[in-house]
Structure 1
Amino acid sequence: MLKKQKRYEQVAAAVAERIRSGDYPPGFKLPGTRSLAGRFGVSISTVVEAQRLLERWGLVVARPRSGYYVRLPGAEATGLDRSDGHSEVSLQPSADSGAVVTGVLQCTPRVATTRRLILELVQATHRQDLIPLGAAVQDSRYIPVDALNRALRRVTKLQGGNVWSYEFAPGNPVIRERIAERMQLAGVKAHRDDIVLTHGCHDAMLLALHSVCQPGDIVAVESPTYYGLLQVLETLQLKVLEIPVHPGRGLQADALALAIQQWPIKACIWVSNFSNPLGILPSVQSKREIVQLLAENNIPLIENDVYGELGFLEERPPAAKKFDRQGGVFYCASFSKSLAPGARLGWIVPGKSRDAVQYGQFASSVATPSIPQYAFAELLQSGDFDRHLRRVRSAYYDRVMRASGILQRYFPATTRISDPAGGFVLWLTLPDKLNAMKLYQRALKEGISFAPGPLFSTAESFQSCLRINCAVGDDDALKWALISLARLLPELDEKTHA
């Protein structure tokens, strides 16, 4: 018996048909919510559900304070190239109505070895002769310097010598209280005593991995994945099992279930909101399913939510930790992307492993810097942090859209460009198997750096892919850099086919 379509599904299907027929062409702004409600004779909430469904189907994109637009051809995919040496996953539902998924995950655990190029990319952020599109580090113009200075003056006046004293683990109770309050926006009920402060999100992930893994253990990650995470795993002598992501929905429970069947996975690391480099926002259902799957198999989830505050929409998406019922999710985050990277202030909510993580933090670094803790607590309390977020979300959205428009205009028509839901990076797949590493070497000579695709995998995948940081330089500098990259492609193409 067929399941009857819900009203919002009927509305979404009708709009989808208009898109497929060409009545609503790429780039077309959909009629407003009230207009659609009147046209279909439904409530506004029904239209909102239909719009979200169209977005999940990958047919439309939302633009803050503007509306929904039909997705442009250049943004139809996230830029994943499955023929580019990347792992494939073959899912074959069993006959009993798909209750069990079987298949073969064609990937093998590997050791990451990427340190030389990673250091080169990071160091490029300080070179005056380069436009650093490589490292995902925001330009200083996106740091609220005036607000931070006000907070510093206030806390040094009120706290005196306290700001120069040790803050032993778990860290300053005031900032932990403010962090606990903010985590409620992500659906996580945490007490300040559940939180351990760290030297950024990297440190938080290191502490989590130290508490659950031994050298040689296998850790599952989404692929492509942030190269800094591969660096962490390399440091701990852990093997990386790359799980292919869905081009629009990110890491999927079915693919992860196959990996669990075939390999003794000791932990899973997941950027749960606006993944780096793809910028994907997984559905709430995906988060719930993945947390449940890992809990059923007694596999810890190390959640990296460093981009969670940087969505292009006003609503803060939930963390995967929200669905943790057994204390098996290590929630890791920091203020590096949302506020000030140089402060190196992060935190971890380690669940049932709290005591081990807290001692590990003390043993590895004794204490975390005191001044940023006092200053950030003041910034969160005053409301300056929220005001900063409203400004910077809009600014990042504008830069990403501006960069995407330049790329669509100047790069070959078959270039695939990601359509992130947050953050400030774009992921590209070049046409005709053009080699991103060769383009990188040519670009350096022109004063431009970017992150080549092979950095985001241990299997030398994504040879034709690259990631660019949109939050650097002014508009003119960003445009010049992207156009310059486009002008290098014909020369690269000639050498490739020579």
Structure 2
Amino acid sequence: MAKDILYLKIAKAITEQIHSETLQFGDRLPSLRSAQKLYNVSLNTIKLAYMELESRSLVESRPKYGYFVSQTSQRKLALPSIAKIKESEIEKNPQDLIDKVFGTISNPDLTQFALGIPGKSFLPLAKLKKSIINVIKNKNDSGTNYEPVQGSEQLRREMAKWALVLEGKITEDDLVITSGAMNAIYNCLMAVTKPGDSVAVESPVYFGILQAIQLLGLKAVEIPTHPISGIDLDALKKALPKLSACCFVTNFNNPLGFQMPDENKKELVRLITEYNVPLIEDDLYGNLYFGAERPKPCKFYDEAGLVMWVGSVSKSLAPGYRVGWVAPGQFKERIIRQKLVQTVCSPSLYSDVIADFLEHGRYDHHLRMFRKKLYANYLQIQKSVTEYFPDNTKISEPKGGFMLWLELDKRICTEDLYDEALSKKINFAPGRMFSQYNQYQNCMRLNYALEWTDRVESDLEKLGKMIKNRI
């Protein structure tokens, strides 16, 4: 009993230090051995105290590094609420709004919070140029020859070698190169559905996935989604008997930013295997983690070949190269046949440049720098929103990636706010874009993968003022 009280006393003392900000977000707690000496207790008591703090999300453990004060400990704003999907509601296609937002893609005068594109300063432009020169020098055909339909063997080999998170479960033979991740998702949907079929998606969902589903004459089934743990698996289980496929972003979801816990991923794979429903897993942001290690995709737990694992370099390296891939499991032959009809093959030049970049170990180094910048920006934008936006703003807690989801006062319509912000050269993605139903009108998504300048800071302040003026 005394030991029980002792570990709780230590946990309480550390909690008070966190709340008084003596210990601040990111600070490292004393190692277990140091804390044992400091409090003059057994190692087990300290372990229990730290586990208690971890269970309250006040600290997080990072393997090999120790325990750190977590970002949740400093939260001042609530998490976004879980939407109740009103399927009886009339569908209201957000296509016009999507067109309006995408129309700004090449406007350099805007502060670009709207689109999921990393700023130029985040990309290793000089090193990519080096890879282009290497490839051109070594190519006899200047990149004019067809490459295999499945994609450049060299790139597939480099991708398979590089995908250490799958612990050797895929080889170059399992991968098909595509024109970016969206092309891979579209191909996967085509391979496993026919018009009229139903496909499960998160809600809110990335609008590109909704567009692909609609274009193929399919029905999107929006599943309620928690901002920390992701898809509501009980709701999914009820929907599974009538589904032909699922399409989820399990790591650093767009727009909510969650990382689905490993137990949930295992359960998701168990469910889709039981019901024999393919899962298209968009793992586009998987390498952009803030924690100690890259999270596993659902593909890692897939024994039946039902998970179609999708990735690309569009968010982390070269958006305009359009180099993506899919490990389609049991649907590989269908995907290759479709690709042959659609595009014959991928442009060999870009595949070889990315392969060269990977081969010379530049990607790991680049990703380390990229993640550091992203994390610093995330802390900045979280701080700015807390400072400038109304106190009843709800804010997501991404574990990686570069999207922040905000839920504002019910009286705010972000579609109307968008026009006012755009007139002041500020761009964001209104929440209505992320559902086929008329919902999320008081929500917005902000991209924080941009060079953090005084202007970015002041534009967030302006945006906060515009919102306050409407309440």
TM-score by length of 1: 0.85
Change (3 A) 1:413 1:191: same
Counterpart of 2:123 in structure 1 is 143
Whether 1:355 aligns to 2:333 is yes
Counterpart of 1:99 in structure 2 is none
User: For the Cα contact (< 8 Å) 1:227–1:456, is it kept in 2?
Assistant: yes
Change (3 A) 1:60 1:430: farther
Structure 2 runs not aligned, ≥5 long: none
Whether 1:277 aligns to 2:255 is yes
Deviation, 1:237, is 1.7
Deviation, 1:444, is 1.1
Deviation, 1:17, is 5.7
Change (3 A) 1:474 1:44: farther
Instruction: Name the aligned partner's letter for residue 271 of structure 2.
Output: L
Structure 1 runs not aligned, ≥5 long: 1-6, 89-105, 494-498
Map residues 8-19 of structure 1 onto 2, 5 A cutoff: none
Deviation, 1:375, is 0.8
Map residues 136-285 of structure 1 onto 2, 5 A cutoff: 136-161=116-141, 163-187=143-167, 189-260=169-240, 264-285=242-263
Secondary structure of 2:51's counterpart equals helix
Change (3 A) 1:186 1:76: farther
Deviation, 1:23, is 5.5
1: CA distance between counterparts of 2:232 and 2:332?
28
Change (3 A) 1:47 1:379: farther
Deviation, 1:395, is 0.3
Secondary structure of 1:377's counterpart equals helix
Counterpart of 1:32 in structure 2 is 30
User: For the Cα contact (< 8 Å) 1:194–1:349, is it kept in 2?
Assistant: yes
Counterpart of 1:303 in structure 2 is 281
Whether 1:114 aligns to 2:94 is yes
1: CA distance between counterparts of 2:155 and 2:447?
30
Counterpart of 1:489 in structure 2 is 467
CA RMSD of aligned residues (A): 2.9
User: For the Cα contact (< 8 Å) 1:148–1:379, is it kept in 2?
Assistant: yes
Map residues 382-421 of structure 1 onto 2, 5 A cutoff: 382-421=360-399
Whether 1:375 aligns to 2:353 is yes
- The superposition leaves residues 74-114 of structure 1 with CA deviations (integer Å, 9 ceiling, x where unpaired) of 3541x23x4xxx326xxxxxxxxxxxxxxxxx646986723
Deviation, 1:491, is 2.6
Secondary structure of 1:164's counterpart equals coil
User: For the Cα contact (< 8 Å) 1:26–1:71, is it kept in 2?
Assistant: no
Identity over aligned pairs, percent: 31
Q: Which moved more, 1:210-219 or 1:163-172?
A: 163-172
- The superposition leaves residues 232-263 of structure 1 with CA deviations (integer Å, 9 ceiling, x where unpaired) of 112112111111112321113222112225xx
Counterpart of 1:449 in structure 2 is 427
Change (3 A) 1:231 1:189: same
User: For the Cα contact (< 8 Å) 2:7–2:45, is it kept in 1?
Assistant: no
Deviation, 1:484, is 1.0
Counterpart of 1:50 in structure 2 is 51
Counterpart of 1:292 in structure 2 is 270
Change (3 A) 1:285 1:253: same
Map residues 80-95 of structure 1 onto 2, 5 A cutoff: 80=81, 82=82, 86-87=83-84
Change (3 A) 1:47 1:343: farther
1: CA distance between counterparts of 2:420 and 2:340?
45
TM-score by length of 2: 0.89
Number of aligned residue pairs: give it: 459
1: CA distance between counterparts of 2:347 and 2:52?
45
Whether 1:74 aligns to 2:76 is yes
Counterpart of 1:340 in structure 2 is 318
User: For the Cα contact (< 8 Å) 1:26–1:73, is it kept in 2?
Assistant: no
Secondary structure of 2:332's counterpart equals helix
Secondary structure of 1:368's counterpart equals coil
- Which of the numbers 468, 472, 475 marks the counterpart of 2:446? 468
Secondary structure of 2:169's counterpart equals coil
Change (3 A) 1:213 1:14: farther
Deviation, 1:331, is 0.6
Instruction: Name the aligned partner's letter for residue 113 of structure 1.
Output: N
1: CA distance between counterparts of 2:340 and 2:94?
29
Secondary structure of 2:265's counterpart equals helix
Change (3 A) 1:445 1:377: same
Instruction: Name the aligned partner's letter for residue 122 of structure 2.
Output: Y
Counterpart of 2:295 in structure 1 is 317
Secondary structure of 1:412's counterpart equals coil
Q: Which moved more, 1:29-38 or 1:250-259?
A: 29-38
Secondary structure of 2:457's counterpart equals helix
User: For the Cα contact (< 8 Å) 2:59–2:68, is it kept in 1?
Assistant: no
Change (3 A) 1:24 1:142: closer
Deviation, 1:462, is 1.3
2: CA distance between counterparts of 1:368 and 1:12?
59
1: CA distance between counterparts of 2:91 and 2:188?
19
